[in-house]
A and B are shown apart, each in its own frame.
Chain A
Amino acid sequence: MKTLRVNMDRLEVKWESVLPEYERLGGRALIAKILLTEIPPQCEPLGPDNKLIFAPGLLAGLPSLTSAGRLSVGGKSPLTQGIKEANAGGMAGDKLGHLGLKAIVVEGQPTEGGLYLLHVTAQGASLLPADQLSGLGNYETVARLQERFGQDVAIVSIGPAGEMGLAGAGVAVTDDLTKQPGRQAARGGLGAVMGSKRLKALVIDDADAPPLPLSDESLFRRSAKRFARELIESPKTGKEGSMHRFGTVAVMGPVNEIGALPTRNFSAGQFEGFENICATRMREVTLARGGQIGVRCMAGCVIRCCNVFVDEQGETIVSTLQYETLGLLGSNLGIDSLDDIARLNRVCNDLGVDSIEMGASLGLAMEADLAQFGDAKSAMALLEQVKEGTVLGRVLGNGAAVTGRVLGLERIPVARGQAFPAYDPRALKGNGVTYATSAMGADHTAGNTIGARKTIDPLGCEGQAELSRGLQRVAAMLDMTGLCLFARPPVVADPQLMVDLINGRYGWGWTVKSLEQAEDDVLRTEREFNRRAGFTEAHDRLPEAFSREPLPPHNTVFDVPDAELDSVFSAL
Chain B
Amino acid sequence: MVEIRIFGALWKHLAPRLELDLEGCNVSVANLIAHLDLDPSEVGIVTVDGRQSNLDEILPADSRVCIFPPMFGG
Q: Could you list which residues of chain A lie within 8 angstroms of chain B, going by C-beta atoms? A: 235-236, 240-243, 245-246, 248, 250-251, 253-255, 257-259, 270, 279-280, 322-324, 423, 444-445, 448, 450-451, 454-455, 457-459, 485-486, 553-554
Contact = CB atoms under 8 A, between A and B. Distances in A.
Nearest to A423: B73
B44 A485 contact: no
A240 B13 CA distance: 12
Interface string B10-33: 001000100000000000000000
A402 to B, nearest CB: 26
10 contacts: A235-B70, A236-B71, A248-B74, A250-B71, A253-B7, A254-B68, A257-B50, A257-B68, A445-B74, A454-B45
A258 B71 contact: no
A325 B2 CA distance: 33
A182 B63 CA distance: 42
A241 B69 contact: yes
Interface of B: 7-9, 12, 16, 41-42, 44-45, 47, 50-52, 54-55, 66, 68-74
* Main DSSP-derived SS at the B contact region: loop
Contacts of A322: 74
A444 B51 CA distance: 21
B51 to A, nearest CB: 7
A242 B47 contact: no
B72 A253 contact: no
Given A240-B12, A253-B7, A448 B54 contact: no
Given A241-B9, A251-B74, A457-B52, 19 more contacts: A241-B69, A241-B71, A250-B69, A251-B71, A253-B8, A253-B66, A253-B68, A255-B73, A257-B50, A258-B52, A270-B50, A279-B8, A280-B8, A280-B16, A323-B74, A450-B73, A451-B73, A459-B52, A486-B72
A554 B52 CA distance: 12
Given A241-B9, A242-B9, A236 B45 contact: no
Contacts of B54: 454-455
A451 B74 CA distance: 12
B50 A254 contact: no
A458 B74 contact: no
Contacts of A245: 8-9
Given A241-B9, A451-B44, A459-B51, A254 B66 contact: yes
Contact of A235 (B51, B55, B69): B69
A308 B55 CA distance: 37
Which of B8, B70, B72, B73 has most chain A Cβ within 10 Å? Answer: B73
Nearest to A428: B73
A554 B72 CA distance: 23
Given A240-B9, A245-B9, A457 B70 contact: no
Nearest to A239: B9
B51 A457 contact: yes
B57 to A, nearest CB: 11
A553 B51 CA distance: 10
B71 A554 contact: no
Contacts of B70: 235-236, 241-242, 451
Nearest to A323: B74
Nearest to A445: B74
Contacts of B72: 236, 243, 248, 251, 448, 450-451, 485-486
Given A246-B8, A444-B73, A486-B74, A254 B51 contact: no
B33 to A, nearest CB: 12
Contacts of A324: 74
A486 B72 CA distance: 7
B74 A254 contact: no
B50 to A, nearest CB: 6
Contacts of A246: 8-9
A232 B35 CA distance: 28
Contacts of B51: 258, 457, 459, 554
A254 B42 contact: no
A254 B12 contact: no
A48 B55 CA distance: 56
B29 to A, nearest CB: 10
A255 B52 CA distance: 10
Contacts of B71: 236, 241-243, 250-251, 254, 451
A240 B69 CA distance: 10
Which of A235, A236, A246 has most chain B Cβ within 10 Å? Answer: A235
Which of A235, A254, A450, A553 has most chain B Cβ within 10 Å? Answer: A254
Contact of B73 (A259, A279, A280, A323): A323
Contacts of A450: 45, 72-73
B69 A259 contact: no
B40 to A, nearest CB: 10
A250 B71 CA distance: 7
B73 A235 contact: no
A250 B72 CA distance: 8
Contacts of A448: 72-74
A486 B68 CA distance: 17
Contacts of A280: 7-8, 16
Nearest to A303: B72
A448 B66 CA distance: 21
B60 to A, nearest CB: 16
A259 B42 CA distance: 23
A358 to B, nearest CB: 18
A280 B52 CA distance: 21
The 8 closest A-B pairs by CB, nearest first: A450-B73, A448-B73, A242-B71, A236-B70, A254-B45, A253-B7, A250-B71, A251-B73
